[in-house]
Every structure is written in C-alpha cells, then in structure tokens.
Amino acid sequence: MSKVVSHSFFTDFDIDLFKAGKHFRLYNKLGSHLTEVEGVKGTYFAVWAPSAKSVSVIGDFNYWNAGEHELNVRWDSSGIWEGFIPGVDKGTKYKYKIHSHNNDIWTEKADPFARFCEQPPNTASLVWDAPYTWKDQDWMDTREEKNGLDRPYSVYEVHLGSWKKKHGWESLTYLEMAEELVNYVDEMGFTHVEFMPVMEYPYDPSWGYQITGYFAPTSRFGKPEDFKVLVDKFHQKGIGVILDWVPSHFPEDAHGLGYFDGSHLYEHPDRRRGYHPDWKSLIFNYGRNEVRAFLISNAIFWLDQYHVDGLRVDAVASMLYLDYSREDGEWEPNMYGNNENLEALSFLREMNQEVYASFKGIQTIAEESTAFTGVTKPVHYGGLGFGMKWMMGWMHDTLEFFKKEPIYRSYDLNNITFSLTYAFTENFMLPLSHDEVVYGKNSLLYRMPGDEWQRFANLRLMFGYMFTHPGGNLLFMGGEFGQSSEWNFLQSLDWHLTQYDFHSGIQEAIKDLNKMYKSNPALYEKQFNPDGFQWIEYNDRENTVITFIRKGNDPQDDLIVACNFTPVPRENYRVGVPKTSTLKLVFNSDETKYSGSGMGKKTMKPAKTPWNGHEQSVVMTLPPLSVVVYR
C-alpha cells in the first residue's frame, strides 16, 4: 500500500449537508478514525482546509516530516482533505501541516475534531477511540421525566482541577472523582452537577473557557473513556450532568482554530466582529455554514457520545450584541441599523432546535446577563429556544442586599423583592457561581456582615431564600460548607473547615435544603409559572421581613415562607395564611444542628384573625437572620 490511500467516509449527501451548514454529526466524518481498508488496519484522516495548497499529516509515525503523508483534496469544492494511512494506530500523536494559498503561509495545527489530546503544555492530537459499555440505561429511559422543567434543579458547579487535591497539589483523576465526587454530590442531595469546561484547553488560568480541543475531554484527569465512567456513575446515582459549552470565542494559540488554513476559516474576518477585546480571543463566524455545522455538531457530540444531560452556554450576551464591550466606532450595525448579531441569533436558534429535536430530556441553559427578551421562549414564538437562563439580576441584587449591615436593610428591601417583578418572564436559574468568588469579590461567607455567628446565619438565610425563590438554583463548590477564602483554581477547596461546627452546620443546612426542595412539589412543579408564587407581605420595612407562598399542582402541597433579614428575633409576628389547616415546620435555618440559636415553632394553628388579606393568620416566632418554611 502507498503511504496515503485514497479513501473517504463522505457521501455526496454528506458534502451537500456540510456545505449547507446542515451536517450535525461531523464528528463521525472529520477528524481521525481507526479503520480498516482492504484488510489493512490504520487511520482515516479528514480535515476542512479550503485555502490549503497542500495538507500533510505529521506525527510520531513519520518523525514529524511534512510531505511524507500528504492528504488528497476532494474534487467537490468542499475544501476537505482526506486519506487513509496504513499502520497508524491508537495513541499516535499527530498534527496537520498546512501550506496555504494565502500568501504562501505554513501552519501546523491540532485536529479540530480530535477525540483526545496531549496533556498541556504539549499540543499534539492523539488518534483515539473510546469504546465504553454504558450502565445508565435506567437514567436514560427516565431522563425526560427527571430532567423536565417541572422537576427540581439544584446544581452543584464544579471546577474539576480544584475540587479536591491529593498530596496537596495533584488533582483527582476522572476515575477517582467517579467515586469521591459522585458520592459527595449524592450525599449533599444535589440533583445535578455542572462542570466548568472539560474540553481541552491550553492555559490553566482560563479555567477551561479558552478551548482548543472542542471534541476532547481534557487529558489532565485521564482518558476520554474515564470521563464517560464519571458521567455514568452520576447517572447511576440519579444525578444529571451539565457541561459548560463555549461557542462564543476561542484562543489564538498557534495550534488552535485561529487562522487555521492561512485564512480566517473559523473566525469572522472582520476584526470588529471576529475579535473579543475583553478575552483577547477570536469570535466564530456564525454566518459561515461550515462553522455553524462544526459548532452544532460539537453540541450534539457531548449529548450523544457522553450522555450529557444539558449544556450551559457560556457568554451568550457577548454573542447577541455587535457592540458588546466595544466603544463607538469599534462595531458596525447590522442590516437593520441596530446592534443585534443576526447571524449569532440564527445560530443559537438552530442549535437549540436541533439538540431538543435529537435528544429527549436534555436542557440548554443560557448565561445571558442582559434584558434580551425571549431567551427561553420557543423558537417558533420568536425566542432563542433555551430551556433556562441564569438570573444574573437576582444574583447581583441579592449579594448587594446581603452585604449590607442589617440595620440598613430596611431601606433596600426592594433589592430582595424586585426579582419577583420579572421572575416569570423567562425560565430562570438562580446562580451563585464561580464568578462571584474570585477577583477580590471575596467568598460568599465573607461578603456577609457581622460577627462570626451572624456571618454564618446570614449565609444560611441567603441559601434558604435562594431555595425557596422560584426557579432552579446553582451553587459553586465550596459555598456549601462556607469556604472562607476566595476560590483559587490552583488549590483544593478548604475541606479541613468542615471539622468546625459553623462550617459543618452550613453543610447540613444545604443537605436539608436539597431534601426539602426535592420532597416538596410546591418548590418545583410551578417554578417557572406565576401561579406557583404569591406574596403575603413584601413591604414590611419596619421589621425587614418578607413572607410568601409557594404553590404546586396540589393545594395540599402549598408552603408558607418567612425570611427575617435582621439579627433581632421577631416574636409574636403575625402572618396571614390562606387556610385553616395546622402549619407544620419543614425547614428552619436557625436549627441548633446548623449552629443556629434553635428558636422557632414546630407547628401553628391559624386563628380567625384576618391579616395580610387573608381571613385567618398565625403568630410566628421568627428567629434572628433566618428563613422558616411551613407546610
């Protein structure tokens, strides 16, 4: 056999779909694939490089010599170069050496479709397959029910490299996390885990948000099949897996997607639309059919090959607006004269339509920080088609409110109630994410005012308020036990703190909040529906107390929630209630097992005393800095 054998995985139909931007399983065609041709084992390579004069595969097997194994260009103007190289087997390191028609430039690139990469700082791709026998059939069969928008969404956000270290510096492997992390998330009662980007990235301080290997789980923690084990183990515990996905930008690293074939292949050629000034990175050309197919294929790849249950799409706001983080003169309006990126909007709609049509029970979640309307509305109603959107306004207002000394909170009570004026305009998830505990913002615990007791009481109160507020919720790792220092991606979380009562008390409170959330339909059945919420009192500035009702499909499940935002106990505090039934305590953030003071009543019988617009009322004891929940 010759060095490169003419061979193709592509049909004419594949090429037509690719050119039209409608081929959404490109990972089955492009990249490197172990195969057999005429009885000879080897690897088929295919890469898109339309501006190339020649493309060679260089690697271990030919001592990285260009020209030894030159691929064949297809005759159909697709810009795809391909061929079969005998004897190249699993684990072979390789790159593409591309000679461009554009100014006679040479580039040396990693494979955009590589399934596995060398561990950074090395940058070669590896020929790889990841055979795996999944054991999560029970989860997959029932996922549509468990992962629906009327089900609990309590998400634990994780940075895999720093959740826990061994020997003080070494991150756990995927297989070690498949035991330790899975068991911990299960013990804490979270319904989902969300991983900050697992796709291969070159630079640790980017936390994974500058991706070079979109189809490869990072090699930092093990092999691709090991990551499948991690996902599988979560599913076997009934826990959903969400991945952060970054279709908004990519780094300029020499081996990455930028200037791939000597031309602006993946990035927009106009620097005003193709370069992100904040992140010093390149922006995808959403109007190019083949780039859209690349990105949508990537979204589908993780849902298909790795059984992932959701994608949290990063930096959506930066995609929506042409003037995002740009001054006047640094951007150009669209054809209608406004600042919306029409091509990005079209791409997001098509991506959401395709993934929801292809997979039952998955969700997409937008990290979108503006007032753009219709993010979670269906595409056929003019929306973007996401399942959920991060409620950044709630996050900002809540943290601003809680950092104030309680004596001043009465003046800013609207900060804590304002979110309910727009809470049902989208399907919102309440995020207390990694972004809120870095860059001098301080840990959640040390944003709280007061002495040590008050800091922890405030933190328990804030978490209780989050869990009872309509919407799903997300908490970054470390918050669940009151991590005292800011997150540092180079270090392990401060697990030693859990030996202390205040920190273990926060941990116990989160366990019980998760238990309460999952066992009370009033907190999730109508979490995105205004019928699921009713104010009792939102303007008691004198006491700095709010009270409200959460409702499910069955009125018997209704919950009464009261939040006392001051360190002053409110005894004999009257609250109007809609029924005459006895109220039973469901949760009290002031329990002694959480290191609280232990105040509060277990049961209350309403009296025929009209209050707050209701015909009957109860007299509560509201502990200091607390949330109490009654059914």
pLDDT at 478 over 90: yes
Q: Give the pair of three-digit tokens for residue 176.
A: 């070690």
| Four-point Cα dihedral 550, 552, 558, 564, nearest 10 | -20
Q: What are the b/e assignments for 417-431, b being 16+ CB within 10 Å?
A: bbbbeebbebbbbbb
The per-residue pLDDT for range 444-454, each reduced to its tens digit, is: 999 999 999 99
Alpha carbon 393 to its chain centroid, in Å, reads: 18
Query: DSSP state, 486?
Result: P
Closest CA to 355 of 503, 429, 245, 512: 245
Active site annotation includes 82:
no
**What is the mean predicted confidence (pLDDT) over 241-252?**
97
Q: What percent of the chain has pLDDT over 90?
A: 97
Distance CA 507, CA 295 (A): 39
**What is the mean predicted confidence (pLDDT) over 338-344?**
96
Place of tokens 């309006």: 333
The per-residue pLDDT for range 273-310, each reduced to its tens digit, is: 999 988 999 999 999 999 999 999 999 999 999 999 99
State the Rg of the chain over Cα: 27
**What is the mean predicted confidence (pLDDT) over 589-600?**
96
Q: Give the pair of three-digit tokens for residue 200.
A: 């291969």
Distance CA 420, CA 470 (A): 8
**What is the mean predicted confidence (pLDDT) over 61-70?**
94
pLDDT at 121 over 90: yes
Place of tokens 């933190």: 459
Distance CA 547, CA 610 (A): 16
Per CATH, domain 12-127 is 2.60.40.10: yes
**What is the mean predicted confidence (pLDDT) over 177-196?**
98
Q: Band of the pLDDT at 353, cuts 50, 70, 90?
A: very high
Catalytic residue, chosen from 290, 367, 426, 590, is 367
Distance CA 517, CA 545 (A): 22
pLDDT at 466 over 80: yes
pLDDT at 1 over 60: no
Q: Band of the pLDDT at 228, cuts 50, 70, 90?
A: very high
Q: Give the pair of three-digit tokens for residue 25.
A: 């399983």
Query: Where are the extended beta strands (E) located within 38-121?
Result: 40-48, 52-59, 72-73, 80-86, 93-100, 106-109, 116-117
- Least confidently predicted of 189-198, 270-279, 518-527: 270-279
Task: Let me know: does 110 contact 256? Beta carbons within 8 Å.
Answer: yes
Distance CA 125, CA 108 (A): 12
Place of tokens 């989160």: 510
**What is the mean predicted confidence (pLDDT) over 412-433?**
96
CB-based contacts of 102, cutoff 8 Å, min separation 6:
51, 261, 262, 263
Helix, strand, or coil here: 520? coil
CATH ID of 531-630, from 3.40.640.10, 2.60.40.1180, 3.20.20.70, 2.60.40.1890? 2.60.40.1180
Catalytic residue, chosen from 290, 314, 343, 525, is 314
| 322 C-beta neighbours (distance < 10 Å), count | 20
pTM confidence score: 0.96
Residue 83's Cβ-count burial label (10 Å; 0-12, 13-18, 19+) is buried
What's the confidence (pLDDT) of residue 46? 98
Beta strand pairing call for 559-564 and 626-630: antiparallel
What's the confidence (pLDDT) of residue 2? 66
What's the confidence (pLDDT) of residue 215? 98
pLDDT at 491 over 70: yes
Query: Where are the extended beta strands (E) located within 198-301?
Result: 199-200, 213-217, 240-245, 275-276, 281-282
Task: Let me know: does 318 contact 324? Beta carbons within 8 Å.
Answer: yes
**What is the mean predicted confidence (pLDDT) over 398-427?**
96
Alpha carbon 177 to its chain centroid, in Å, reads: 18
Residue 329's Cβ-count burial label (10 Å; 0-12, 13-18, 19+) is exposed
Q: Give the pair of three-digit tokens for residue 316.
A: 């959506």
pLDDT at 14 over 70: yes
Distance CA 191, CA 472 (A): 10
Map 300-317 to HEC letters: HHHHHHCCCCEEEECCHH
**What is the mean predicted confidence (pLDDT) over 122-130?**
96
Q: Band of the pLDDT at 103, cuts 50, 70, 90?
A: confident
Q: What is the mean pLDDT of the chain?
A: 96
**What is the mean predicted confidence (pLDDT) over 254-274?**
96
Closest CA to 79 of 9, 15, 11, 14: 15
Q: Do domains 12-127 and 531-630 have the same CATH topology?
A: yes
Boundaries of every domain in the chain:
12-127, 531-630
Active site annotation includes 314:
yes
Q: Band of the pLDDT at 109, cuts 50, 70, 90?
A: very high
Task: Let me know: does 218 contact 225? Beta carbons within 8 Å.
Answer: no
pLDDT at 562 over 80: yes
**What is the mean predicted confidence (pLDDT) over 191-209?**
97
Helix, strand, or coil here: 106? strand
Distance CA 295, CA 310 (A): 15
